[in-house]
Amino acid sequence: MENFQYAEVIPLVKLPKSLGIFDYKIPAGLIDEIQIGQLVEIPFRKKNIFGIIIKLKKDAGITHKNLKEIVSIKNKKILAPYQIDLIFWLADNYFQSLALIVKSLIPPIPKKNYFNKFDVKSSSGITIKKNIQKALFDISGNTLIYGDYPKTLPIQIINAYRKKNQQILYLLPETNIVRKKVKIIEKYFNSSEIGVITGTISKTKNYILWEKILHKEIKIIIGTRRAIFAPFSDLGAILIEDEDDQSYKQWDQNPRYNAREVAIKISELTHSNLFLFSRAPSVTTYSKTLKNFNKKFYPWYGKQFEMVDIKNEPKSFPYRYISNRVNEVLEQSQGQCIVMINRKGSSRLVLCKSCGYIFRCPACNLPYAYYATPQEVLRCTICAKTLQLPEKCPECENIEYKFQGAGTKKIAEEIQTRYPKYALEILDGDTPMKKKKEIIADFKNKKIKILIATQSIFNDIQVEHPIDAVIILSTDILFNIPEYTSEERAWQFIIKSSMYANTIIIQTNNTDNFAVSCIAKNDFDAWYMSELKKRKLFHYPPFSKIIKIIFQNKNKKNAETDASLVAKKIKEIIKFDNLSIEVFGPIDPYAIITRKYYRVHIILKILKNNELLQNIMQTVPESCLIDVDPVSLL
């Protein structure tokens, strides 16, 4: 072994982006044991903390006598070799400090007395409990699998790589789905070689699991987006189910990474194969897979789509939201129906009929949603703050209100009024977990005739028995949200809603909708190519990179001033260097106030890969939040 005397260490503390790596002297007694990727104890400022060794060298960049020494090695190794490169890629791609990336990547460190307890066992042999059918296509390369693919397909791919004695990572969007999949996978493989990583496992269990994965004792790793950072020593395949699900994006804290994009990078670093599954893949993913990816499309067979034109249909009180044709379907149905509407509550907003006053949440500055039952209440869909609906308008004292936009509760009221004998339930984001489990069980046991649901149903219910019809309401709203991704989200909503039945009724003002006609004809590729043409024309992803810079301050004027100054600096750099970058803002977001802070956004649209982008981002203050490829521009 070479006689390295110095180590580059990333301390596990909050640090600015300009301070990431520190040199430490290796004590003589540790020279033979020291390795890249180890967790070490180091003196930092006035106390001892943990750090990660990322490089060993024979010389240091500063005077040797000023260097502090590493105190001790806390772990033989905590990172796999490829993860060192991954740390730098994450820091560069998401514009975060190395210290923040490392702290986000590794599991929480247990108490000090833990470190000498762990004993790595030898890897167990291959054990497959049940016979698994072989996948009917080549699984030796990166593959996009989309459409109505068999539910057993991920198991078949896992089995193929397990037979090679390689590790497999299986990512799922939510913890409740992970629990269900683990029960299925344990029918085929020994539970001792399966590791589960979600945000709910304990600190110590997480750390033990981390080490077992690193030493290849765990072969099959199943989890939510957090599992992407596990330290694989022999990764054969990464499977991402529902790759289009927004849960793979960490949007609420730094680093705001997308697990799908991180998986693509890890696949490249480890030479493992990537399998992306989706009923309706994202446009960005579809575009990326046009090159260097296999594509496997499973058509929808036996689906009948009917468009119901409601443009000129008369509205007769109290039946305002359900068309005559939909009522026919509900009345003639001998079995069960699912009614899909992607909005909770009774009404989207409440306003005064006289002066137009709109009730808004004081914390978020957004309109309250109206809930008619169990008691009249206004509720913020962002922070859940509630307000009793006043008898009079606080502005003009008028006693008449107007309720706009129907939600699940309003639709339920209308259907129940017309069909009082039908067993009906609502399943949406407001449904408590205990009640949700009861509804799912009752629906599977056919105790519920009509289920009214939002898109939360996609991760909650897998129906094994035939459903008479799926009825989709308010598709026009989905297609016309002011986001460049609105048509994509509407497309995905319709396709995923269609999974539950062969008869799909779509109530709309636009019966010539191109997206729906493509679904009905099983011509998914036509819609994707059309959407890509539009995005290319307007320079939207995947033909650009979007960065949302979020300024926040308890004083709105200060937030606006800070954003204006940074926007000005960025525009000056772009002009001077003649960069292909568009700047939008400062602009107010949809939710102006978040956690008592006013927010202001700057949106950057980067049209070409640019090495000078880091220079631009250095003008952004440390206090700002940086969201690369945000889920929403609003």
Q: How far is CA 9 from CA 4, 64, 134, in A?
A: 14, 16, 46
433, two tokens = 């977990």
Q: In what order do the strands lie in the sheet with 377-379?
A: 386-388, 377-379, 369-371, 347-352, 401-406
Residue 39, pLDDT score: 92
| One domain for residues 489 and 549 | no
Chosen domain end from 280, 298, 316: 298
What is the model's pLDDT at position 592?
83
Q: Tell me the C-alpha distance between 520 and 524, whole Å.
A: 9
Instruction: Please check the confidence at residue 326 and state whether its pLDDT lies above 60.
Output: yes
**pLDDT interval class at 129 (50, 70, 90):** low
For range 432-449, the mean pLDDT: 91
Cβ–Cβ under 8 Å, residues 504 and 498:
yes
Question: 235 in a domain, yes or no?
Answer: yes
Compute how many other C-beta atoms are within 10 angstroms of the C-beta atom of residue 136.
10
Same domain (yes/no): 160, 99 = no
Please indicate, yes or no, whether residues 87 and 177 belong to a single structural domain of this protein: no
Domain of 97, in residue numbers: 6-106
pLDDT bracket for residue 183 (50, 70, 90): very high
The DSSP-derived string for 513-551 is -HHHHHHHTT-HHHHHHHHHHHHHHTT-TTSSEEEEEEE
Listed range (11-20, 188-197, 540-549, 558-567) with the worst mean pLDDT:
11-20
d(CA 43, CA 24) in angstroms, rounded, equals 9
Percent of the chain's residues with pLDDT above 70: 93
Average pLDDT over residues 286-291: 90
Residue 252 has pLDDT above 90, yes or no: no
For residue range 617-629, list pLDDT tens digits in order.
Answer: 989 999 999 999 9
- Measured CA angle at 474 (ends 482, 359), to 5 deg: 65
Predicted local distance difference test score (pLDDT) of residue 130: 59
Residue 383 is assigned to a structural domain of this protein: no
What is the C-alpha to C-alpha distance for residues 45 and 458, in angstroms, rounded to an integer? 50
* Residue 93 sits in the same domain as residue 158: no
CATH number at residue 480: 3.40.50.300
> What secondary structure does DSSP assign to 447-471, as a single string?
--SEEEE-GGGGGT----S--SEEE
Whether residues 276 and 324 fall in one domain: no
Comparing C-alpha atoms, which of 548, 536, 546, 544 is closest to residue 609? 544
Which residues are CB-neighbours of 557 under 8 A, at least 6 positions away?
Answer: none
Domain end marker among 87, 106, 125: 106
Q: Which has more confidence, 379 or 248?
A: 248
Residue of 394 and 406 predicted with greater confidence = 394
Whether 546 has a pLDDT exceeding 80, the answer reads yes
Say if residue 327 is in the same domain as residue 255.
no
294 and 155, same structural domain? yes
In this predicted structure, the answer to whether residue 122 has a pLDDT above a threshold of 60 is: no
pLDDT, average across residues 586-598: 85
Q: Give Cα separations from 10 to 59, 62, 497 (angstroms).
A: 17, 17, 47
The per-residue pLDDT for range 227-236, each reduced to its tens digit, is 999 999 999 9
Ranking 59-63, 103-107, 383-387, 553-557 by mean pLDDT, the lowest is 59-63
Count of the separate structural domains present in the chain? 4
pLDDT of residue 518 exceeding 80, the answer is yes
Both structure tokens of 612: 């000078």
Q: What confidence tier does 2 reach under pLDDT thresholds 50, 70, 90?
A: low
Instruction: State the chain's mean pLDDT as an integer.
Output: 87
Cα–Cα dist 295/143, whole Å: 6
Query: Rounded to 5 degrees, what are φ and ψ at 72?
Result: -165, 165
Does residue 292 sit in the same domain as residue 308?
Answer: no
Q: pLDDT value at position 382?
A: 72
Mean pLDDT of 428-437: 86
By three-state DSSP, how is residue 310 classified? coil
Q: Which residues contact 606 (CB under 8 A, 6 or more apart)?
A: 544, 545, 546, 547, 580, 581, 613
Provide the 3-class DSSP secondary structure of residue 258.
strand
Instruction: Using alpha carbons only, give the angle 290, 291, 292 rounded to the nearest 5 degrees.
Output: 130
What CATH number did the domain enclosing 64 receive?
3.40.1440.60
Which of the residue ranges 55-69, 70-84, 94-108, 299-313 would you say has the lowest mean pLDDT? 55-69
Confirm if 68 and 43 have CB atoms less than 8 A apart: yes
Please check the confidence at residue 245 and state whether its pLDDT lies above 80: yes
Residue 127: pLDDT over 60: no
Task: Tokens for 285, please give them.
Answer: 């993913």
Residue 214 lies in a domain: yes
Q: Are 93 and 154 in contact (CB under 8 A)?
A: no
Q: Which residue pairs, CB below 8 angstroms and at least 24 apart, start in 529-537? A: 531/283, 531/487, 531/488, 532/283, 532/286, 532/287, 535/283, 535/484
Q: Between residues 76 and 600, which one has the greater pLDDT?
A: 600
pLDDT, tens digit (0-9, with 9 covering 90-100), for 350-367 = 888 888 898 888 877 778
1 belongs to a structural domain: no
User: What confidence tier does 108 reach under pLDDT thresholds 50, 70, 90?
Assistant: confident
Whether 390 is covered by a domain: the verdict is no
Query: Does residue 493 lie in a domain region?
Result: yes
Alpha helices, H only, 95-171:
98-105, 153-163
Other residues' Cβ atoms within 10 Å of the Cβ of residue 374: 6
From the list 400, 342, 345, 415, the residue with the least C-alpha distance to 376 is 345
Average pLDDT over residues 263-270: 97
Above 80 in pLDDT, residue 175?
yes
Question: In the chain, what percentage of residues exceed pLDDT 90?
Answer: 52
Q: Which residues contact 99 (CB under 8 A, 6 or more apart)?
A: 10, 11, 12, 13, 14, 15, 19, 20
Residue carrying structure tokens 């009509």 = 450
Tell me, what's the pLDDT at 302? 82
Q: What is the pLDDT of residue 539?
A: 92
pLDDT at residue number 123: 43
In eight-state DSSP terms, residue 65 is: G
* Predicted confidence band of residue 45 (pLDDT cuts 50, 70, 90): confident
Measure the CA–CA gap between 350 and 369, rounded to whole angstroms. Answer: 7
Shared domain for 155 and 202, answered yes or no, is yes
186 and 285, same domain (yes or no): yes
Give the range among 110-119, 207-216, 323-332, 441-450 with minimum mean pLDDT: 110-119
Position 69 scores a pLDDT of: 92
* H-helix or E-strand spanning residue 605: strand 597-606
**What pLDDT was estimated at residue 364?**
74
User: Can you tell me the mean pLDDT for 459-480?
Assistant: 83
Cα 388 from chain centre: 34
Q: Residue 65: what pLDDT?
A: 66
Contact 355, 395 (CB under 8 A): yes
Is 566 found in the same domain as 483?
Answer: no
Q: Which of 106, 123, 153 is the last residue of a domain?
A: 106
Q: In this structure, are 553 and 616 located in the same domain? A: yes
In a domain, 362, yes or no: no
**Pick from 267-271, 342-346, 614-618: least confident:** 342-346
Number of residues assigned to the chain: 634
> b/e per residue, 407-416, with b = 16+ CB within 10 A?
bbbbbbbbbe
Residue 454 has pLDDT above 80, yes or no: yes
Closest CA to 385 of 415, 359, 417: 359
Which candidate, 280, 340, 329, places its Cα nearest to that of 460?
Answer: 340
Residue 540 inside a domain? The answer is no
